[in-house]
Structure 1
Amino acid sequence: MLKVDLALGAAAGLNTGDIVFQLVMFLILLALLSKYAFGPVLGMMKKREDHIANEISSSEERNKQAQKLIEEQTELLKEARKEAQALVENAKKLGEQQKEEIIQAARSEANRLKDGALKEIETQKDQAVAALREQVASLSVLIASKVIEKELNEQEQEKLINDYINEVGEGR
């Protein structure tokens, strides 16, 4: 059969020996390429694929960490705002409390000063009344001594009383 094929190939102008030789050379070249070229190229491509997969997973992990940090920072910011609001509220309450304390202290001081002034007025009044009593007593004694010194008639008695009244009026 080989002879028939060779004969047919020769008749048709096909050279089967060249075809077989080229086929064997192609297979040898394919084996050499797969051993020396495809292996390293496929290895490099596998390394590149692994590297890209690692970069993608690493990027996804960093993205997750960044999202987690963003959430944590957001929570911290919310807490800081709450604390700031609480501080402002406490400061307002403290200010109101101090305001009330200052007002209360001022009222107490005003009441104390008022009470002191009233006591001072009462003391001055008591002293004035005492002084007036002393003057009235001394004038009464003076009047009595003058009445005793001379016996007066009605006109002299009236004149004496008027003089003493004028004297007491000037003494005030």
Structure 2
Amino acid sequence: MQSYVGLMTLSASVGGFRFGDMAVQLIAFIILLILLKKFAWGPLMNMMQKREEYVAGEIEAAEKSRLEAEQASKDAAAELLQVKQEAQKMIENAKNAGVKQEQDIIEAARKEAERIKVQAQADIQNEKEQAIQVLQAQVASLSVLIAGKVIEKEISEKDQEELINTFLKEVGEGR
């Protein structure tokens, strides 16, 4: 046994190794590793796994939010473009309506001018007819006067022509 104890203590005097102590320390270290794995390393790895999943979920959610924001931005840009197009269309319609209204006003003014022109021509025609009637009345009265003068004295054709010319001059001055 002594040789066994001697073998177990290899050069203990020089700071040698004791295999028994080493075996006990090795067993204690293995037990410590098993306990650490069960109570510390396992929960730590579970927590790290959960943290990794959480971070991956957050990255995925952020990516999803970014994509949704891009889509919302595209939708807003498309809607803005549509609103601009509708506004442009409304402006164009208003311009067309203004042009049409302008044409309607011009047409109405032309019709009114034509109506006034026709009315003025009718008034002129009426005045002309009245003047002719007045002239005819004067001619009739002058004819009666001439006839009276002709009866008072017999006149030659030359005198009769002069009388008519005088009559026409009087009628022309009477206007």
Which TM class, normalised by the smaller chain length? 0.7 to 0.9
> What runs of 5+ residues in structure 2 fail to find an aligned partner?
none
Match of 1:111 in 2: 114
CA change 1:112–1:5 in 2 (3 A) is farther
Greater RCO (Cα-Cα under 8 Å, separation 6 or more):
2
Equivalent-residue separation in structure 1 for 2:46 and 2:62 (angstroms): 24
Cα distance change of structure 1 residues 9 and 121 upon mapping to structure 2, 3 Å threshold: farther
Question: Which of 138, 142, 145 lines up with 2:141 in the alignment?
Answer: 138
Partner of 2:47: 44
Structure 1 residue matching 2:10: 3-state secondary structure: helix
Q: CA deviation at 1:142?
A: 2.5
Aligned residues: 167
Change (3 A) 1:65 1:47: same
**Pair 85,9 (structure 1): closer, same or farther in 2 beyond 3 Å:** farther
Q: 1:61 aligns with which of 59, 64, 72?
A: 64
Which stretch of structure 1 is more off in the superposition, 68-77 or 6-15?
6-15
Shift of 1:9: 5.6
User: TM-score, with normalisation over the residues of structure 1?
Assistant: 0.81
Quote the sequence identity (%).
Answer: 43
The residue number in structure 2 matching 1:6 is 8
Other-structure match for 1:74? 77
Task: Specify the alignment match of 1:125 in structure 2.
Answer: 128
Listed as ranges, the gaps of 5+ residues in structure 1 are: none
- 1:151 maps to a residue whose letter is K
Relative to structure 1, the CA distance from residue 153 to residue 39 in structure 2 (aligned partners, 3 Å threshold; closer, same or farther) is closer
Cα pair 1:9 1:16 within 8 Å, conserved: no
2:38 aligned with 1:32 = no
Instruction: Choose the corresponding residue for 2:88, options 81, 85, 109.
Output: 85
The alpha carbon displacement at 1:116 in A equals 0.9
Q: Which amino acid aligns with 2:56?
A: A
TM-score, normalization by structure 2: 0.80
Equivalence map 1:127-166=2 (5 Å): 127-148=130-151, 150-151=152-153, 161=163
Root-mean-square deviation (CA), in Å? 2.7
